[in-house]
Amino acid sequence: MTSSDNARFGVGLLGHGTVGGAFHRLLEERADAVAARTGRRPHVVGVLTRSQGDFEEILAASQTIVELIGGIEPARTYVLRAIEAGRHVVTANKQLLSQHGDEVFEAARKRGVQVRFEAAVAGVIPAIRVISESLAGAYIERVHGIVNGTTNYVLTEMARTGATYAQALAAAQRLGYAEADPTEDVSGKDAAAKMAILARLAFNARVGLEDVRYEGIERITPDDIAYARELGLSLKLIGSAERIDDGLAVMVYPAFLYADHPLASVDGAFNAVTIESPAITEITLSGPGAGGIQTASAVLGDVVSTMLPAGAQPPPPRAVKLVEDVEFSFYLHLEVADRPGVLARIADVLGRNEVSIKSVVQRGLGDDARLVMVVHPVLESRFRSAVAEIARLDVVRGDPRVIRVIEETFEAPGAT
């Protein structure tokens, strides 16, 4: 064995579908960066699907097994066998963990290996890690979540367009936000499996899918949504897990939320989880709920964790080139003389400096006239020199006021 063999980390990949395929590509793309962080270069030692690969061979060559087959069998058998063989396991399998969690976690405890499953619950939202690690010392009182992107997309579309449930679901299917058979999602069962997993973690209690009472969104009508809008409420499919006296209630149901609830503004295929505890008040985590590459990112985070000792320091940081001059969109507020031609003169200065106006409002009269504008993204240096030139114009009084404007770069999937 050469030293470069020594520095490799074998990942056995079970399943090569939407998530498995995306994970495989992501791992190759990020292998160098992971090697820089962990000292070992991860590589896929073998892939198992229905038509390729041999499980025992893959197991023998791997240090961590990534299970992305889904469903109970054969995933359960492979996961238990991997644990028994002393391998860490990373999985996105909510069915398995919500129905056979006791068996899987007990096996991992006995064998002293890690079972990580960030991707099983809420896409890239690190709810599992935050609950089990950041809040390992906390008394958690309640967890509320929007943990199914399909139903949130459908409800958001119903609210946005006034569509019926059937219409919004059909649109979601056309756009790939809902599967051909959406039963598990719209019935609330998918969310119930995820809430069982969250409840187990948050309360260290034996909670399985069978313990979760769930209702879906099939019977929601445009009427209900119209009523919600009228009163400033949002309608969401909510998963909740909470302590009630000395017991627990774990449920999934459609619910109206007041506008100030942290989950009220989570739209489209986004997911979010709010964790409440007396000492922390509440923490809310939000992000895209599903998608192959997003889920694969959560899997990668877990794989890297199985490669690192606890609290491993990152390698020495690299020196960095600092960029001081950055493109921004800007707001510009000017006090100007209220006479003809003022705007033209200012626009001329901006134009010569290649600053382009996005919107402009003029108001007030006489000495109190104001010109308020927003310009398209432009290098700050260029904008500042235009403003300096404008400040010297005789029609401008006082100091120009400049504030940056940030536009949302990413669109929430499905939110238009």
Ligand X SMILES: NC(=O)c1ccc[n+]([C@@H]2O[C@H](COP(=O)([O-])OP(=O)(O)OC[C@H]3O[C@@H](n4cnc5c(N)ncnc54)[C@H](OP(=O)(O)O)[C@@H]3O)[C@@H](O)[C@H]2O)c1
| Residue 194 annotated as catalytic | yes
Q: Which stretch binds ligand X (CB under 6 A): 65-73, 261-269, 326-334, 363-371?
A: 65-73
The single residue among 72, 166, 279, 388 that binds a second copy, judged by CB under 8 A, is 279
Neighbour-count burial of 210, counting CB atoms closer than 10 A to its CB (0-12 exposed, 13-18 middle, 19+ buried): exposed
How many angstroms separate the CA atoms of 164 and 373, rounded?
Answer: 41
Residue 16 annotated as lining a ligand binding site: yes
Q: Rounded to whole angstroms, how far apart are CA atoms 16 and 229? A: 42
Binding residue for ligand X (CB under 6 A) from 290, 307, 371, 395?
290
74 binds, among ligand X, a second copy, none (CB under 5 to 8 A by kind): ligand X
Applying the rule CB under 6 A, the residues between 22 and 61 that interact with ligand X are: 48-51
Spot the catalytic one: 110, 189, 194, 236: 194
Do the annotations mark residue 18 as ligand-binding? yes
Q: Which stretch binds a second copy (CB under 8 A): 2-10, 156-164, 188-196, 292-300?
A: 292-300
Contacts of 346-354 spanning 24+ positions with Cβ under 8 A: 346/371, 346/390, 346/393, 346/395, 346/396, 349/386, 349/389, 349/390, 349/393, 350/375, 350/386, 350/390, 352/386, 353/382, 353/383, 353/385, 353/386, 353/389, 354/378, 354/382
169 φ, ψ to 5°?
A: -65, -40
In the complex with ligand X, which residue's Cβ is closer, 201 or 395?
Answer: 201
* Placement of tokens 């921004």 in the chain: 328
365 binds a second copy (CB under 8 A): no
Angle at alpha carbon of residue 224, lines to 219 and 226, rounded to 5°:
140
- Closest to 147 measured CA to CA, from 185, 91, 92: 185
Binding mask 109-138 for a second copy (x = CB under 8 A): x----xxx-x-----xxx--xx-xxxxxxx
Distance CA 231, CA 282 (A): 25
Measured from the CB atom, the residue of 138 and 337 that comes closer to a second copy is 138
Nearer to ligand X, 55 or 253 (CB): 55
Considering beta carbons, is residue 145 or 400 the nearer one to ligand X? Answer: 145
299 is in an annotated binding site: no
Which of 10, 145, 182, 254: binder of a second copy (CB under 8 A)?
254
First-to-final CA distance of the chain: 54
Selection from ligand X, a second copy, none that 48 binds (CB < 5 to 8 A by kind) is: ligand X
Of 163, 249, 343, 360, the residue at the interface with a second copy (CB under 8 A) is: 249
User: Cα–Cα distance between 96 and 314 in angstroms, integer?
Assistant: 33
Extract the tokens encoding 117: 């499953």
Nearer to a second copy, 95 or 297 (CB): 297
- Residues between 20 and 49 with contacts to a second copy, criterion CB under 8 A: 26, 30, 33-34, 36-38
Let me know: does 64 contact 306? Beta carbons within 8 Å: yes
Ligand-binding annotation for 21, yes or no, is yes
Residue 179 annotated in ligand binding: yes
Our finding on whether 60 is near a second copy (CB under 8 A) is no
Helix (H, G, I), strand (E, B), or coil: what is residue 136? coil
Return the number of the residue (95 or 353) whose C-beta is nearest ligand X.
Answer: 95
Tell me which residues are annotated as active site. Answer: 194
Residues that bind ligand X (CB under 6 A): 15-20, 48-51, 68-70, 74, 92-94, 119, 290-292, 295
